[in-house]
Amino acid sequence: MHAMRNWLIGGILMLALSAVPPVCQGMNMPDSITLDSLVQLYDKVKFDHAKHINLIKDCAVCHHHTTGTLVEDPNCVRCHKNSSETKVVACKGCHSSQPFSAETLKEKQQGTKLYHQDKPGLKGAYHQNCMGCHTKMGGPTGCLDCHKRTKAGDALYNSGTYAPQKTQGNAAGHGH
Amino acid sequence: MKRRDFLKGCMICGAASSLGISKKAWGSGSFEGYPEGMGVLVDLTRCIGCRSCEAACNKEQQLPEPKVPFDDQSVFEEKRRPTEAAYTVVNRYEQSGGPVYRKVQCNHCNEPACLTSCFVNAYTKTKEGAVVYNSKVCVGCRNCMIACPFNVPGYSYSSATNPVIKKCIFCYDTRLKYGKPPACVEICPQEVLTFGHRNDLIKIGHERIRETPDKYVDHIYGEKEVGGTGWLYLSSVPFDKVGFDNTLGNEPIISNVKEFLGTVPMVLSIWPALFTGFHLLSTRQKGHGDDHGHDAHSKSEQEGAKK
């Protein structure tokens, strides 16, 4: 019985390994990533990294110039033609959760950087990356398809238990 | 002096002085906005119509409960405009390449028409770039609703006793004043809304167009329109297809009335003194210097009539 189970596990492991594209083999990658640094109105996202790797194969589709196929965008190539992979590959390593802080705005105003002025914040980077691809590939695009809304979220959106009463008193106080 | 000559003289003097003033004082260039003025760059290509901005605005500005939840997409069936209960609304426009969503709110003009039209001076353009208003002095005349080229100000029709104007104030009181982005910008998941100094946003907008020319119409709506607005827009489809008025021109609305308004103080301050002077001169000449009251005036008029 035990031997049988070991065989089974071994088989599954082999299958799983063979499914990982050759570019990524040997790299130290998480199979699942929990995106929870921005949790407030929506709950954390359990991102199935392995599934996306198997589906897309090329790391650079999401990690643009940081890993996988290196810089291809003609706008970036002009400077980064020979740039190697970066140490930081996580989105939050570069994309700030506070993109409109006083320091960022001051830096932009001083114009010390020639490029990279228009880098989206972390929330923008996640959504633009995920939603952009999901729209093209027919993946889920509804807010609740990826993350559950918290109670605070329900209150803000006047949804769920906080939904407005449809029957009466609704018209009062509203202009027509 | 004949009465006719006197009037002729007045007309010539008046016309000459009004021309002189309008050229000197009001011929100056237009106001380009405060150098530290903030703005928001709205990239229509990124918007997914989630209405989060509407929800955030509702809570931040403590507006009344909506009729339907903010995640209800049925509102897109009609085109909405901002009201007293919603300072910002998102509208959907069906295009060949899929739906395009457009957020509507006050554009915070460099030279606001609402401010120009307000005779109680309720409006202020702050140095941070917000167009705010003092509802305590608002008399509810609705001039600003007519003056606004973007149909933005809403009106509290629901108030029977004290109806006033209601509109987006760039979250000035609670956020902008402290250097923070407005609530709608902060909640936007797609970063459709980029908050920053207006001057920087114009550069960023042009850079986006330059980097991906196929994606955008080569125009930033609001960079020049009606003298420039604090909120700027990028779009993948022609702006008039998604509810923008392309016919407004680049002149601030105030330019239409600047010349006329310039003569008002002149008329109020100079004309009374000028005409009193003429009157005194004309009556003194006739040797009635010691008797220049209503009698003298009526006398000279009678004389004029005889001649």
For B40, the closest chain A residue by CA position comes to A100
Q: How many CB atoms lie within 10 A of CB B292?
A: 16
List pLDDT tens digits, range B197-211: 999 999 999 999 999
CA dist., res. B291 & res. B289, Å (int) = 5
The mean of the pLDDT values for chain A is: 82
Cβ–Cβ gap B191/A123 under 8 Å: yes
Of B64, B190, B204, the CB nearest to A173: B64
**Type of residue numbered B263:** T
Query: Which B residues in the span 187-246 are in contact with A, Cβ-Cβ below 8 Å?
Result: 187-191, 194-197, 199-200, 203-204, 207-208, 211
For A170, the closest chain B residue by CA position comes to B67
pLDDT over 60 at B214, yes or no:
yes
Please tell me the least confidently modeled range out of A21-35, B1-15, B230-244: B1-15
Reading the block at residue A48, the tokens are: 């199935």
Q: Please compute the mean of the pLDDT values over residues B136-161 and round it to a whole number.
A: 92
Query: Which value does ipTM take for this structure?
Result: 0.79
User: Please, what's the b/e burial string for B31-61 (b: 16 or more CB within 10 A of its CB; e: otherwise)?
Assistant: eebbeebbbbbbbbbbbbbbbbbbbbbbebb
3-state secondary structure of B303: helix
Query: Which A residues in the span 57-76 are in contact with B, Cβ-Cβ below 8 Å?
Result: 75
Instruction: For residue B284, name the pLDDT band (cuts at 50, 70, 90).
Output: confident
Backbone torsions φ then ψ of B100, nearest 5 degrees: -120, 130
Pair type for strands B123-125 and B131-133:
antiparallel
Q: How many CB atoms lie within 10 A of CB B128?
A: 18
Residue B50 Cα distances to B56, B75, B144, B184, B214, angstroms: 12, 11, 30, 12, 25
pLDDT in the model for residue A139:
93
A133 touches chain B (CB under 8 A): no
pLDDT in the model for residue B161:
87
Of A75, A99, A176, the CB nearest to B211: A75
pLDDT in the model for residue A20:
47
Residues of chain A contacting B204 with CB distance shorter than 8 Å? 117-118
Instruction: For residue A88, name the pLDDT band (cuts at 50, 70, 90).
Output: confident
Please give the residue that has the higher pLDDT: either A117 or B131: B131
**Type of residue numbered A110:** Q
Task: Give the gap in angstroms from C-alpha B11 to the nearest C-alpha of chain A.
Answer: 51
Please name the residues in contact with A172: beta carbons below 8 A apart, sequence gap of 6 or more: none
Q: Please compute the mean of the pLDDT values over residues B98-111 and round it to a whole number.
A: 96
Residue A39 Cα distances to A125, A149, B193, angstroms: 15, 10, 20
pLDDT in the model for residue B20:
46
Cβ–Cβ gap A156/B56 under 8 Å: yes
pLDDT in the model for residue B96:
93
Residue B255 Cα distances to A151, A157, B252, B258, angstroms: 51, 42, 6, 5
3-state secondary structure of B59: helix
pLDDT over 70 at A164, yes or no:
yes
Question: Do B211 and A117 touch, CB atoms closer than 8 A?
Answer: no
For A125, the closest chain B residue by CA position comes to B190
Of B48, B69, B85, the CB nearest to A175: B85
pLDDT over 60 at A25, yes or no:
no
Reading the block at residue B114, the tokens are: 């609402």
Please tell me the least confidently modeled range out of A36-40, A83-87, B191-195, B205-209: A83-87
Residue B132 Cα distances to B108, B177, B204, B257, B260, angstroms: 9, 11, 26, 22, 25
B73 touches chain A (CB under 8 A): no
* Residue in this structure with the two tokens 């959907």, named with its chain if needed: B92
Q: For the CA atoms of B139, B145, B147, B149, what is the dihedral angle to 10 degrees? A: 160
CA dist., res. B284 & res. B291, Å (int) = 9
Instruction: For residue A171, name the pLDDT band (cuts at 50, 70, 90).
Output: very low
Of A100, A164, A170, the CB nearest to B69: A164
Handedness of CA B130, B131, B137, B138 (dihedral sign): negative
Please tell me the least confidently modeled range out of A47-51, B123-127, B243-247, B300-304: B300-304
Helix (H) or strand (E) segment spanning residue A167: none
Q: Please compute the mean of the pLDDT values over residues B64-69 and round it to a whole number.
A: 95
pLDDT in the model for residue A170:
45
Percentage of chain B lying above the pLDDT 70 cut: 82
3-state secondary structure of A48: strand
pLDDT over 60 at B18, yes or no:
no
pLDDT in the model for residue B26:
45
pLDDT over 60 at B174, yes or no:
yes
CA dist., res. B170 & res. B40, Å (int) = 10
CA dist., res. B50 & res. B75, Å (int) = 11
* Residue in this structure with the two tokens 């305590």, named with its chain if needed: B136
Residues of chain A contacting B194 with CB distance shorter than 8 Å? 118
Reading the block at residue A140, the tokens are: 């889920």
Question: Do A126 and B43 touch, CB atoms closer than 8 A?
Answer: no
A143 touches chain B (CB under 8 A): yes
A99 touches chain B (CB under 8 A): yes
Residue A77 Cα distances to A116, A142, B220, B232, angstroms: 13, 34, 27, 29
A170 touches chain B (CB under 8 A): yes
Q: How many CB atoms lie within 10 A of CB A170?
A: 15
The mean of the pLDDT values for chain B is: 86
Percentage of chain A lying above the pLDDT 70 cut: 78
Of A102, A118, A123, the CB nearest to B208: A118
Of A128, A173, A175, the CB nearest to B190: A128
Please give the residue that has the higher pLDDT: either A4 or A119: A119
Instruction: For residue B27, name the pLDDT band (cuts at 50, 70, 90).
Output: very low
Residues of chain A contacting B64 with CB distance shorter than 8 Å? 173-174
Handedness of CA B296, B301, B302, B306 (dihedral sign): positive
DSSP class of residue A87 equals: S
pLDDT over 90 at A47, yes or no:
yes
